[in-house]
Structures are given as C-alpha cells and as structure tokens.
Structure 1
Amino acid sequence: MQGQVLRHKRKWRGEWQRFSCRRRRRPLSEYRPDSDLARACDEASAREGVEANGKSRLHLVVLGHVDAGKSTLMGRLLHELGHISQKTVHKAQRDATAAGKGSFAWAWLLDERAEERSRGVTVDVASTFFETPKHLVRLLDAPGHRDFVPNMIAGAAQADAALLLVDGSVGGFEAGFDAGGGMGGGQTREHAQLARSLGIEQLAVVISKLDTCAFSQERFEQVKGALLPFLRTSGFRESQVQWLPAVGPSGQNLTDHPTEPALSSWWRGPSVVAAIDAFRPAARALERSLRMPIADVFKGLRGGLAVGGKLEGGALKVGTRVLVQPGGHQAMVRSVEMDGQAAALARAGDTADVVLAGVDATALAVGAVVCHPDWPVPVAGRLEARIVVLDLPLPILKGRQVSVHVHTAQESGQISRLVSVLNPKTGEVTKARPRALTKGQTAVVEISVARPMCVELYTDYRALGRIALRDGGHTIAVGIIVSLLDSD
C-alpha cells in the first residue's frame, strides 16, 4: 500500500507543481473582492430581507443511527409544511405497500433511489428545500448506516446545524449508542463526534419512537441522561443543545404542540419546527477568498457540466473567472442556480449549482474546490494534524492505513509519523515521537495521502481545515490541520 501511495503522489505531484511554479500563492490576508463583485454582494444583501420576507438561509443536516426514523420524520415534516402534496404522499404509500414495505412510505418521499428502497436505508445525502417561519432551510438527510458514513461526512461538512435523531424505543437507543453495537452499532456516537469535528455547534436531539413505550417521560429523561454527558465530552456546549420528542409517522410535535394526550400531558417544549427556528444562521464570509468544495457533479438543466456545493467563502457570479483545484484548471462561470432557479450571484453561505465553461470535464470531481485564481486553495500531499483519538480496539501505530476526510473530499492515505502527544488542556508536548496512540489521547501526526488534496490550515480557513480519519468502517480520530508539509 505504501508503494501505491508513493506512485499516486508522483503522478499527481507533477501537474500541481507545474502549476505552482507559475504563480506565488498570495496570503489570504491580502484578499479584497473586486469592485463589481463587492457591489453585487451589497445589492444582494439589501434585497435579501425584502425578497425572503426577512428569512435567513440555514443548512441543516439530519443525523442518527440507522433505523432511527430520519427519512420518515423528515418526509412527514415536509408534507406538514406543504412542500409535498397529498397526491405524492398517496403514490409513495401505494408504491411502498406494493413492495411489502408499507411502513416506509414517508421515508420513500426522500429515499427515491432503487437501492435505498430495496435496502430500507438511506444511501446518499438527500437534499431538499423548505421554509419555516424564520428560515429558508436547505435540508441534508444523511445516511445512518455505517457503510455510508463517508456520504454522511460530505453532507455534514456543509451544515450550519444538525438534528440528531435518536430512537427512543426500548433497546433502540442502546443499539445506536452502544460503541460495540455490532455491524450497524454506535452510529449515534460516531455521527455526534463527526458533526462536532466538522464544525457543527448547534444541535437539536430529537427522541423518536416514544409511541412504542406509551410516550413515557421517564424514557425520554433516561435517554437524555445517557446521551448528554457524551455530547459534552464530544465538545457540544449544553446551552447549544436542544432536546425534544417527536413521532414521524403520526406527525406528533413536528410543527405544532402534540395532540396525543400521553405526550402533551408532560411536554411543554418546542416542536421540531420551533427547534429549527431557534438555530442561528452562519455569518456570510464575504470578505474571504472564494472557496466552494464540490459536493456533486452533474449535467446542468440548461446544458453544460455543473458542479454543486456550498460556498464557504467569497462569492461568484455569471462571468466570474475561477480556478478548479487540484490541477490549476482555469474556468469561467457560465450560469448559476439556487433552489432550482437561475441566479445572478451566489455568496458565502449559499448552496449553488454552477455551470463552468472552458474547463475539461475530468477536472471536475467531488472533493475538488472552485476558488479564486489569485488566491488558490493549497493542494497538499503531506500534512500535520492535531487529532483526538476516538474509541478503537487497537492503538494507532506509524504506517496505519486510513481514509482521510476533509470537507467533501475523501482520499486513501497513511499515518506516516507520530509526532507528539499533547496535554489536551494546555497543548504542551508531553511526549515526543510516541510509539503508539491510544483512546482519548490528543496528538500531532503526519499524514500522507495517495493523491494531493485541497486543504487549508485550520487557522486560515476552518471549513477546509477540519479532518477525520477512518479505518475499517469506523472513525478513529478527528482533528484540525496545523501544517502543510508538501503543498503548492
């Protein structure tokens, strides 16, 4: 495997080093948006409050263990909010019943792929749009099964806040929370840890399926009592975590106060919609250089090859010249779409579909980054990261093969050096060149990847400076990038 990594690195290094020789990377602190783009952003900000009726944009990801009922709950919520017609609901119910999966009808409103319907699990990140009284919400329904955690990471990397759905049925919560819960076990833990490591600070824990235990308040408090300490150790502030019950199939506590007497007798808190409205939207980083990690590549509705993703910084409009990394591929924005409508401009915080002209299709891939030509995103083959080691049965040794996840990018690699173990509170080095890393330790490691990735130092660009390491279907460490050792 090590030889393969080195061969891949030599193959890719030539192209991006040739590009780097042609330009010196300017410090991000020198960036200033050009006057036309700045004027367009100012005009859009002035119109935004009027056109959106004062509503702000929010990217929301739905997380949780497989079979917690994420797609069912969100399918019913979209219907309650008027975004899915009764005709569409009836069709999903007929199709699900005909397939012998009648209980999956609400989930099928989001799980449209044949593989998802046959397996009864979400495979890819389903994206849709809805409105609440305060927000214009881009919903990302992430897969819960551990086989598709890489897809969940790509979805969570774009989110401002998260709903963590927890199965409140007896045995259901335990299966999702138990770190040793078998082939599908422990995804509640892993999703929560990944969400926090990817920068999500706002969380609403939705405890579902309480109808299976007579809407027991005792069961609700039992689940909360078990999960809250873990969320604290994962880095969530208690003040940033909301707790609420909901039942997807019957619609209890989704948009209004519950009507079920056994639940309404004790629940006085928010509904799911009220919890979403309590989230704060992220500030638009318009003063930053353009960064748009590509989350999807597809044929545009109006022709041409389109890339989709969330702008983490800067802005672009029709006619803007951009760079696609890795490789230094020049391109021009031919068209922009948001929420299925043509748009003249996309700004930091927006999810957009962008058709690019003048670039070869082979340059466009999930994990690549659309950026400013004069302030290109670095492309690195080796980096140092400060990580926290999570639950794992065996210690981390030098040379361990890992899957490296940064924003929407995923690449195979290895931990090529164990640099130091740190005091987690002070950051001071407690041991240099350790032989192994074990659960709970904070450390600095060197990581080599098979092909150079678009990454940033966490201190320069947080959204592109967070990292997760996975092996054998489990996340073994999360952290931040602190040094680029082999970059442009």
Structure 2
Amino acid sequence: MDLLRFITCGSVDDGKSTLIGRLLYDSDAVSLDVLAALEEQNRTSAAGTVDLALLTDGLRAEREQGITIDVAHKYFTTPRRKFIITDTPGHVQYTRNMVTGASNADLAIVLVDARQGVVEQTRRHTIVSALLGIRRFVLAVNKIDLVGYSEAVFRDIVADYAAVAAQLGIKQLANIPISALHGDNVVRASANLPWYKGPNLLEYLETVSVAPDTTHEAARFQVQYVIRPQSAELPDYRGYAGRIQSGVYRRGQQVVVLPAGIETTLEAIEINQQAVEVAVAPQGVVLRLADDVDVSRGDTIVPADQAPEPTRELEATLCWMEERPLRAGRKLLVQHHAAKTKAVVQSILGKTNIQSFAQEDADEAKLNDIVRVRLKTATPLVADAYGQNRTTGAFILLDEQTGATLAAGLIETTELAYA
C-alpha cells in the first residue's frame, strides 16, 4: 500500500483535532486502552459525548485550554492506504508549528467553520501550505450541522475559498461538507446531506493521487556522517552515510563532491551493511568513493551530469518566527539539512499581504510575516530552487548565539557568487 501524509489546518476552534479523532475513531484505528479511556470519559462527561480531540491534544496545557499548541502525528491504515496525519495549531502565535507540520505533507485539509467562513488564518495557513509545496487541498466545511446542513452556506464558502485558491494557483481542490463532532460525511456518507453527491472525506483520502516519485528528480545526497572504523579488519574503509534526498544512485557512475567540485567514481553503495548496485530516494545508504578525497559532513555527492552550481547568494521566501523583527543587515545561521553556515540578510524584497496575496514593500519582517529576502552565506550551499526540488530547496534560519529557530525558508532562486 502507498502512503499519504496530510495535515489539518485552519483557524482556532474549527475542529481540526476533533476531525482527526473522528477519522481514527470511526475507522477503528484507536487502541483498546485509549478507547476504554474515552468511553470512561464519555460516562462521566456532563455533555455525554466523547471528546475526540483528546486523541491528539496530548499536552496538559492543550487539555486545559481546549486548544492545540504542539504538532501531533497520528498513524492509521485502511485496507486501501496508509496515512500519517499531522494536527497543526490554529492560533496565529503557533504558526511556526504549523510550518513544521506542513513541510513534509502531500495534502492539506483546510477546515473552515461553517458559521465563520473563510477568515485570516484560513488564508494564512493556505498560503503557508502552498509555499511549502503542497499541491493537493481539501476544503472541509466543518460544523455544517450548526447551520442546519445548509447547501447555500456550503456553496458560499466554497466560492469564497475558490478565489483564494485561484490567487495561489491551487488546481487540485476538493470541497467536502462535514460534521466532525457527529461524524457526518467523515468516514461514512450522511443522510443529513442529501444534496451532496461527492465522496466522504476518508473515501477521498483513500483515492487521491499521492506525491510524485522523487526518483525522477535530479540525484541529491548530503553527507551526514563520515564512517572511519580504523580497525585491523577494515584499515582503509571510508564511507559517507546519509539519506538519498532525491533521484537514483548507481555503483560505478561518475560523481562530483560539492562544493569543492572534486570528481571521482562511486565505488560502492551499501544499505544495512550489504552492497547493492542501485539505491533510490529516500533510502538511507553509505556511499564509498574510488578516490581518497576530502569529504566532510554537509558536503553533497551528486552525479557529474546532474551537478548544480554551489551558491553564496540566494533569494528565498521566509516565514518569520521570532518576536524580534527581522531587518536587513542581520547576521544569522543557515541550516540546510546537515550543512550549516553563517549568513547575512542583504535586503528584504517584499512582504506577502495575507488578504490579497500581493507583494508589498517592507523594510522588516514581524512575527508570522511571510517575506522574500536576499541572503548571502559565508560558505557555498549546494541547493536547488524549492519549485524544482522540495527537499533540497528548504532550509531554516537559526540565531547565532542561542541556536533558536528563527524562520523556515524556501529557496526561490540561486546565483553563482564565486568561481
């Protein structure tokens, strides 16, 4: 079976955690001990209903406040597909956690309260999801029971969100009315929605096409660890461990080590200490080279005919995550997978207007702003534009002193700044 990773996002109290709980509960994906605890809670609850949000809201603060703060991952399987669900916070102050959850998702379920319609956080989470490379969206109009299962209300919200999707170039969009609390149209069709003729939510998730095969992308492998046993049995062994980020590697092919630009031959590929002829993304492997060259953590090994140009200058879109505003001239660290280098913000090129999605002039980025910047790094990075390679086109910015995460970044363009 294939695997679908998806997130739930939207504004606070739109019912994201309840929806995930309903998916797990109605698809019989809740363990017996957790089910027993929920049933006990149901017996003692004044409302007499099961609080399905408790299946994902694990922090004490979340339970006390009735909100989602942290990112929660849940796993379940149906006869047709495996799923990894990421529940992301709705509060604007936790947008940074939403970015984390969206970074590896194939699909986004955007929840909208049928009583509220499309609000600012709906727009913010949609644009962040689109910027992070998600191409498949589901508009789930939740709490449809609280508006009398009205088709007119549903159609109005669908029209409003269609305008948002059009501005962002979203082409794969499904519109589904649901009630997560009562289970209408989540796992089973609902008699309360006779006017809706489409699939229920789970049926759609089971049949939507999954992420494209990254083995067709240019091959990329970044060294995470250099293996030197220095034992009598393996006196000359030198291997480079890491995960193939995209593409295919074959024993015997010509490769180049970047950013140094040293060419050599891929002598061996090992998976679980066994030699193989071919390895593909996203397998973890150890690569061995024919020549004794200088390779360190963070270096990239790529086929010679697919090598990108290392760069020290790039334009990127950032989701800023710190209370202190970002201004041109600030020095920070760029973490690009295992590679880390100092960098300076040369300029802020513009800020995205959450309402219109237009680029506006800006001289700083405040908390949760989405801005486009120009960065210059101290050492060259081996990276691709995010639109070409979602894995190698993403990075984070760190504080030089504390190591705290300041921003999530997506590379828009790169420029060769050295020769």
* Range of TM-score over shorter length: 0.5 to 0.7
| Residue identity opposite 1:252 in structure 2 | D
SS in structure 2 opposite 1:227? Answer: helix
Structure 2 vs 1, CA of residues 161 and 459 (structure 1 numbering), >3 Å: closer, same or farther? Answer: closer
- Contact kept in structure 2, 1:397 and 1:435, CA below 8 Å: no
2:86 alignment counterpart? 140
Does structure 1 residue 173 correspond to structure 2 residue 117? Answer: yes
2:228 alignment counterpart? none
1:277 alignment counterpart? 206
Work out the CA distance in 2 between the residues paired with 1:56 and 1:347. 16
Among residues 205, 211, 214, which one is paired with 2:148 in the alignment? 214
How big is the shift at 1:72? 0.5
1:51 alignment counterpart? none
How big is the shift at 1:141? 1.6
Among residues 432, 447, 461, which one is paired with 2:389 in the alignment? 461
Work out the CA distance in 2 between the residues paired with 1:408 and 1:196. 25
Deviations 1:384-410 (A, max 9, x none): 2265999xxxxx974589999989999
2:168 alignment counterpart? 234
Query: Which segments of 5 or more consecutive residues in structure 1 lack a partner in the other structure?
Result: 1-54, 178-185, 295-308, 317-324, 326-331, 336-344, 357-369, 391-395, 422-433, 470-474
How big is the shift at 1:247? 1.0
Does structure 1 residue 64 correspond to structure 2 residue 10? Answer: yes
1:348 alignment counterpart? 281
Work out the CA distance in 2 between the residues paired with 1:408 and 1:272. 38
| Residue identity opposite 1:283 in structure 2 | P
- Contact kept in structure 2, 1:162 and 1:200, CA below 8 Å: yes
1:482 alignment counterpart? 413
| Residue identity opposite 1:447 in structure 2 | L
Among residues 188, 205, 214, which one is paired with 1:256 in the alignment? 188
1:195 alignment counterpart? 129
Deviations 1:92-127 (A, max 9, x none): 354588798987720111111222222222222211
Work out the CA distance in 1 between the residues paired with 2:412 and 2:90. 27
Query: Which segments of 5 or more consecutive residues in structure 2 lack a partner in the other structure?
Result: 225-241, 250-257, 259-269, 287-296, 321-325, 352-360, 398-405
- Contact kept in structure 2, 1:292 and 1:313, CA below 8 Å: no
Work out the CA distance in 2 between the residues paired with 1:459 and 1:128. 28
Work out the CA distance in 1 between the residues paired with 2:129 and 2:337. 12
Structure 2 vs 1, CA of residues 217 and 278 (structure 1 numbering), >3 Å: closer, same or farther? Answer: same
How big is the shift at 1:135? 2.1
Deviations 1:155-175 (A, max 9, x none): 11101111111111x2x335x
SS in structure 2 opposite 1:464? Answer: coil
Alignment of 1:10-21 (within 5 A): none
Work out the CA distance in 1 between the residues paired with 2:319 and 2:28. 44
1:128 alignment counterpart? 74
Deviations 1:308-338 (A, max 9, x none): x99742589xxxxxxxx9xxxxxx9879xxx
How big is the shift at 1:286? 2.9
Alignment of 1:26-41 (within 5 A): none
Per mean C-alpha deviation after superposition, the further-off stretch among 246-255 and 128-137 is 128-137
Alignment of 1:99-138 (within 5 A): 105-138=51-84
Structure 2 vs 1, CA of residues 275 and 450 (structure 1 numbering), >3 Å: closer, same or farther? Answer: farther
Quick check: which one's helix share is greater?
1
Does structure 1 residue 374 correspond to structure 2 residue 305? Answer: no
- Contact kept in structure 2, 1:198 and 1:467, CA below 8 Å: no
Q: How many residues end up aligned between the 2 structures?
A: 342
Structure 2 vs 1, CA of residues 126 and 413 (structure 1 numbering), >3 Å: closer, same or farther? Answer: farther
SS in structure 2 opposite 1:173? Answer: coil
Deviations 1:428-458 (A, max 9, x none): xxxxxx99699xxx99741358999885434
1:384 alignment counterpart? 314
Deviations 1:328-367 (A, max 9, x none): xxxx9879xxxxxxxxx996368xxx899xxxxxxxxxxx
Structure 2 vs 1, CA of residues 476 and 140 (structure 1 numbering), >3 Å: closer, same or farther? Answer: closer
Alignment of 1:63-102 (within 5 A): 63-85=9-31, 87-92=33-38, 94=40
Work out the CA distance in 2 between the residues paired with 1:138 and 1:102. 30
* Higher RCO (CA < 8 A, seq sep 6+): 1
Work out the CA distance in 1 between the residues paired with 2:141 and 2:372. 37
1:34 alignment counterpart? none
The root-mean-square deviation of aligned C-alpha atoms, in Å, is 5.1
SS in structure 2 opposite 1:374? Answer: strand
Structure 2 vs 1, CA of residues 256 and 418 (structure 1 numbering), >3 Å: closer, same or farther? Answer: closer
Sequence identity, in percent? 25
Work out the CA distance in 1 between the residues paired with 2:338 and 2:162. 28
| Residue identity opposite 1:65 in structure 2 | S
Structure 2 vs 1, CA of residues 387 and 88 (structure 1 numbering), >3 Å: closer, same or farther? Answer: closer
| Residue identity opposite 1:246 in structure 2 | I
Higher Rg? 2
Quick check: which one's strand share is greater?
2
Work out the CA distance in 1 between the residues paired with 2:36 and 2:102. 31
